[in-house]
């Protein structure tokens, strides 16, 4: 990929890395998605966040199901904050989830121009893209969207008498978390939900019961942004065999102060400086151990990385398109 890198490295946006006139100190803006992708595979980070390559085939089934649920909870809790009754809030949540499934022409593949800086439908760019890999009914290993909507209904019923008072949904907060004489790191965190307990609450959907790994930059970053030592994972399971109390769980993940400080003062600057080095040399090396993931292979594995270097630019043109520039508000998942 060296040709592509050289041609476009000047326009990179992982380099929201701006020189500031302070003896060459660099500003680095990072969020959990970029940092974890960088940890997983620098070449993937380059494809995804510098070049904005998006798979033409859309997201995988499990990511689409997660996004439908995410849209539901966003509009559901937003409506509750606006003092609507829970039943009404549920209606708005489901309507938004259905629009995500169907797709809205106005915001899908929207390209900003001077005449039209925002989608005319009033949505965020690409907010309701429609599903590509999720059938109505579950088939084989794929979860159907009807089941996802049913799960939202069960979630609403299960938490009917919820004591949580939601305060903010889908809010992006930023804070300078590190500074030395080389770099200043601005961390951006998207918080799915903040309730009156003042904890960050993160919605996670899953098909299997998994333990939640606490070695997680998203959660540690949220703690540092919110000045807390705990994040609550709002688990929403798609298992058909489990009862509601087995698939809807709210799990606190707690951190000692020492662990959070280690992440903030050692891990974060290490990767920020590594990112600067990659950006400066224009070389983002591949990490072979990330090609096969929990939910299938990396989107670039078959179509790009396993081809000869000379052929990769062609392959990218065939299988990927240029998506919107990454920012933590766009989405919370990588391809
Ligand atoms: Zn729209």
The rounded Å distance from CA 130 to ligand 1 centre is 10
Distance from residue 151's CA to the centre of ligand 1 (Å): 24
Angle, helices 268-281 vs 32-40, to 10°: value is 70
Please give the distance, rounded to the nearest whole angstrom, from the Cα atom of residue 329 to the centre of ligand 1: 16
β partners of residue 202: 233
Q: Are 70 and 124 in contact (CB under 8 A)?
A: no
Q: Model's pTM, two decimal places? A: 0.84
Expressed in angstroms and rounded, the spacing between residue 319 Cα and the centre of ligand 1 is 25
Query: Interhelix angle for 32-40 vs 217-226, to 10°?
Result: 150
Calculate how far, in angstroms, residue 129's C-alpha sits from the geometric centre of ligand 1: 8
End-to-end CA distance of the chain: 19
Query: Ligand 1 centre from 68 Cα, in Å?
Result: 15
The tokens describing 123, both together, are 């949505």
Q: For residue 125, how far is its CA from the centre of ligand 1 (angstroms)?
A: 7
* Ligand 1 centroid, distance to 212 Cα (angstroms): 33
Cβ-contact 165, 196 below 8 angstroms: yes
CA 71 to ligand 1 centroid distance, Å: 13
pLDDT on residue 17:
45
Q: How far is the CA of 126 from the centre of ligand 1 (A)?
A: 7
Q: How far is the CA of 83 from the centre of ligand 1 (A)?
A: 24
Instruction: Using alpha carbons only, give the angle 178, 182, 184 rounded to the nearest 5 degrees.
Output: 30
**98 CA to middle of ligand 1, Å?**
12
E strands, 34-120, in order: 53-55
Nearest partner of 125 among 303, 307, 317, 326, judged by Cα = 326
* Contacts (Cβ under 8 Å, ≥6 apart) of 58: 64, 129, 131, 132, 133
Which residue in 192, 180, 223, 189 sits closest to 29, CA to CA?
189
Centre of ligand 1 from the C-alpha of residue 282, in Å: 36
Q: At what angle do helices 61-81 and 145-158 cross, to 10 degrees?
A: 40
Q: How far is the CA of 124 from the centre of ligand 1 (A)?
A: 7
Give pLDDT, residue 244: 94
> Residue 211 gets which letter from DSSP?
P
Q: Please tell me the distance between residue 103's alpha carbon and the centre of ligand 1 in angstroms.
A: 8
Compute the C-alpha angle 38/42/46, nearest 5°: 100
Task: Determine the distance separating the centroid of ligand 1 and the alpha carbon of 236, expressed in angstroms.
Answer: 26
Using CA atoms, how far apart are residues 124 and 106, in angstroms rounded to an integer? 10
| Ligand 1 centroid to residue 69 C-alpha, Å | 17
**Rounded Cα–Cα distance for residues 125 and 110 (Å):** 6
Q: For residue 22, report the distance from its CA to the centre of ligand 1, in Å.
A: 43
According to the model, what pLDDT value does residue 8 have? 29
- The rounded distance, in Å, linking the Cα atoms of 127 and 129 is 6
Residue showing tokens 């000869």: 308
From the CA of 56, how far away is ligand 1's center (Å)? 20
Position 120 scores a pLDDT of: 87
Question: What is the rounded CA–CA span in Å between residue 22 and residue 29?
Answer: 17
Residue numbers in the chain where pLDDT is lower than 70: 1-23, 198, 209, 328-335
**How remote is the CA of residue 289 from the centroid of ligand 1, in Å?**
38
What does the pLDDT read at residue 201? 84
Q: How far is the CA of 131 from the centre of ligand 1 (A)?
A: 14
> What SS3 state is found at 35?
helix
pLDDT at 60: 86
**For residue 100, how far is its CA from the centre of ligand 1 (angstroms)?**
9
Give 191's contacts (C-beta < 8 A, 6+ positions apart).
168, 170, 171, 172, 173, 200, 201, 202, 222, 225, 226
Separation between Cα atoms, residue 27 and residue 272, nearest integer Å: 10
DSSP 309: G
């Amino acid at each position: 990929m060296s040709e592509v890198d050289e041609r476009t490295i000047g326009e990179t946006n992982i380099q929201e890395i701006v020189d500031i006139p302070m003896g060459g100190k660099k500003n680095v803006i990072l969020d959990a998605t970029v940092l974890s992708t960088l940890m997983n595979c620098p070449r993937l980070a380059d494809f995804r966040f510098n070049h904005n390559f998006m798979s033409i085939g859309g997201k995988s089934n499990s990511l689409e199901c997660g996004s439908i649920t995410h849209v539901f909870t966003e509009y559901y809790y937003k409506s509750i904050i606006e003092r609507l009754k829970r039943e009404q809030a549920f209606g708005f949540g489901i309507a938004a989830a259905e629009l995500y499934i169907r797709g809205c022409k106005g915001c899908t593949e929207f390209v900003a121009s001077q005449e039209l800086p925002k989608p005319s439908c009033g949505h965020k760019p690409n907010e309701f893209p429609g599903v590509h890999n999720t059938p109505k009914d579950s088939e084989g290993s794929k979860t159907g969207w009807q089941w996802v909507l049913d799960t939202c209904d069960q979630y609403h019923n299960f938490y009917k008498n919820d004591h949580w008072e939601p305060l903010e949904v889908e809010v992006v907060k930023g804070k300078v978390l590190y500074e030395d004489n080389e770099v200043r790191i601005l961390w951006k965190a998207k918080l799915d939900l903040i309730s009156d307990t003042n904890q960050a609450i993160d919605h996670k959907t899953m098909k299997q019961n998994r333990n939640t790994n606490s070695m997680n930059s998203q959660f540690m970053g949220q703690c540092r942004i919110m000045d807390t030592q705990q994040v609550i994972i709002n688990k929403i399971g798609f298992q058909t065999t489990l009862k509601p109390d087995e698939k809807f769980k709210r799990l606190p993940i707690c951190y000692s102060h020492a662990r959070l400080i280690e992440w903030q003062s050692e891990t974060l600057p290490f990767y920020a400086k590594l990112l600067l080095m990659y950006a400066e040399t224009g070389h983002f090396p591949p990490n072979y151990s990330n090609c096969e993931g929990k939910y299938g292979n990396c989107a670039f594995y078959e179509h790009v990385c396993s081809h000869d270097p000379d052929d990769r630019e062609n392959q990218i043109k065939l299988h990927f398109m240029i998506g919107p520039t990454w920012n933590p508000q766009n989405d919370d998942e990588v391809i």
